[in-house]
Amino acid sequence: MSLDIPDAWVKAAVEHVAVQIIHRTPGGEIVALEIEPDAIEFSGGEAVAFIGHTPGARPILQCYRPESILGFAVTNRRFRPPVHGRWRAFVPLYESRGLASRGW
């Protein structure tokens, strides 16, 4: 993957592409999860939380700390974003970084 995780999260959120993360839970368990990216929380210009929905009949909004993400991959699955999703706030960043024309 040529993009770092924050840029890939933005690209996936705007293009509505699910991602898979390998994540260490607070209890120390390592799990693979498919996530539909929606937002990133920043503090001092640094990403402090990646936010997305778990797919399913009743999607659950989840938050992941960058240091807990051990692996990251883009899937081929597209999703319909939630009506009140925060991904729209990424559009200016997506455009300014030229993410539409950049590979994953």
- Confidence bin at 1 (pLDDT 50/70/90): low
3-state SS, residue 75: strand
pTM of the model: 0.90
b or e along 60-78 (b: 16 or more beta carbons within 10 Å of the residue's beta carbon)? eebebeeebbeebebeeee
Q: Would you state the structure tokens that stand for residue 1, as one six-digit string?
A: 């993957």
Q: Which amino acid is at 39?
A: A
Give the domain range for residue 55: 5-101
Looking at residue 2, what is its pLDDT?
Answer: 82
Average pLDDT estimate for 14-22: 96
Residue 65, domain CATH: 2.30.30.520
Question: pLDDT digits over 25-78, tens only?
Answer: 999 999 999 999 999 999 998 999 999 998 876 778 899 999 999 999 999 999
Q: How many domains does the chain have?
A: 1
In this structure, are strands 60-64 and 69-78 parallel, antiparallel, or unpaired?
unpaired
